[in-house]
């Protein structure tokens, strides 16, 4: 996959998502009802009572066995679907989450955010667009913050391991790791600040949506939010710095 399309949604992703929407239930019903139906047909066409009883017994047994296998298949496909969606979200978020991609991250929104989004879309479409853009900022900042925390723990562990090495000069390694730690600390601080700003903007839009605004007031608020939204590329740049630090750590280990 090219670097350009790495964080972009492809047509194949949409087709797979549509397939995974109904495939688990289709597979369940095919496995559960597929084998019993022919046996039930033979039961209805049986000429003798003994033959009919045999086919009826076989159809009931096949139904029970098919139900169990169908449930297992359903669980397996649902688990695969959840992992597929998680991998897709990670790929889409690799270059920052955009407003058009928020629909794929509904699972990461809080119940209050989903409820507010539905209400704002019904009452004020213009504010709804701003709300979705701010949600994209919030999701990006949240992911950067979570990843920076994980990387900080990893770097701290590697620093402790390097210092515990005896009879070897690890000063250069420790210095590099300390530099990475400082860089990740900056990422953590910046992402925390961006997350707080995004949450504040979300509350501002929610409060505005609860009031009856004129077109002029709505346009003014959107311009103000757009000015704040222009800071999003900085968060994306911080994410790139974090990935670069992780790559440098991997190269050091090798």
- C-alpha of 41 from chain center: 46
* CA 67 from centroid of its chain's CA atoms: 31
Residue carrying the six token digits 């990893």: 154
For the cut 90, the answer to whether the pLDDT of residue 81 exceeds it is: yes
Sign for the pseudo-dihedral over CA of 9, 13, 18, 21 = negative
Residue appearing with tokens 């701010």: 134
Distances (CA, A) of 17 to 1, 35, 249: 19, 28, 35
Q: What is the DSSP string of 71-104?
A: HHHHHHHHHHHHHHHHHHHHHHGGG---GGGGGG
The first and second tokens of residue 80, run together, are: 């695969």
Residues in the chain: 254
Banded model confidence at residue 75, pLDDT cuts 50, 70, 90: very high
Q: Which residue has the higher pLDDT, 41 or 81?
A: 81
CA nearest neighbour of 124 among 244, 7, 219, 14 = 219
What is the reported pLDDT for 214?
Answer: 57
Cα 60 to Cα 62: distance, rounded to the nearest angstrom: 5
Q: What is the pLDDT of residues 91-106, one digit of tens each?
A: 888 878 888 889 999 9
Q: How many CB atoms lie within 10 A of CB 238?
A: 23
Across 18-27, 55-64, 76-85, 172-181, least confident range: 55-64
What DSSP designation does 57 have? H
User: Which single residue is written with the structure tokens 């098919």?
Assistant: 66
């Amino acid at each position: 996959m090219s670097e350009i399309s790495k964080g972009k949604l492809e047509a194949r992703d949409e087709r797979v998502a549509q397939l995974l929407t109904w495939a688990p239930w289709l597979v369940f019903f095919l496995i559960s009802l597929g084998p019993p139906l022919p046996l039930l047909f033979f039961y209805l066409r049986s000429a003798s009572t003994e033959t009919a009883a045999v086919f009826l017994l076989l159809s009931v047994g096949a139904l029970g066995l098919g139900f169990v296998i169908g449930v297992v298949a359903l669980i397996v496909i649902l688990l695969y679907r959840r992992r597929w969606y998680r991998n897709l979200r990670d790929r889409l978020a690799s270059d920052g989450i955009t407003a058009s991609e928020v629909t794929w991250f509904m699972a990461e929104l809080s119940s209050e955010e989903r409820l507010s989004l539905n209400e704002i879309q019904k009452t004020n479409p213009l504010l709804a667009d701003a709300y979705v853009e701010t949600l994209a900022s919030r999701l990006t900042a949240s992911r950067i913050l979570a990843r920076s925390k994980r990387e900080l723990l990893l770097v701290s562990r590697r620093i402790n391991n390097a210092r515990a090495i005896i009879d070897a000069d690890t000063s250069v390694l420790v210095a590099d790791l300390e530099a990475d730690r400082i860089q990740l600390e900056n990422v953590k601080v910046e992402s925390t600040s961006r997350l707080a700003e995004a949450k504040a903007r979300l509350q501002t839009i929610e409060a505005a949506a609860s009031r009856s605004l004129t077109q002029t007031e709505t346009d003014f608020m959107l311009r103000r939010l757009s000015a704040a939204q222009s800071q999003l590329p900085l968060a994306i740049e911080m994410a790139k710095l974090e990935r670069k630090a992780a790559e440098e750590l991997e190269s050091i280990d090798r």
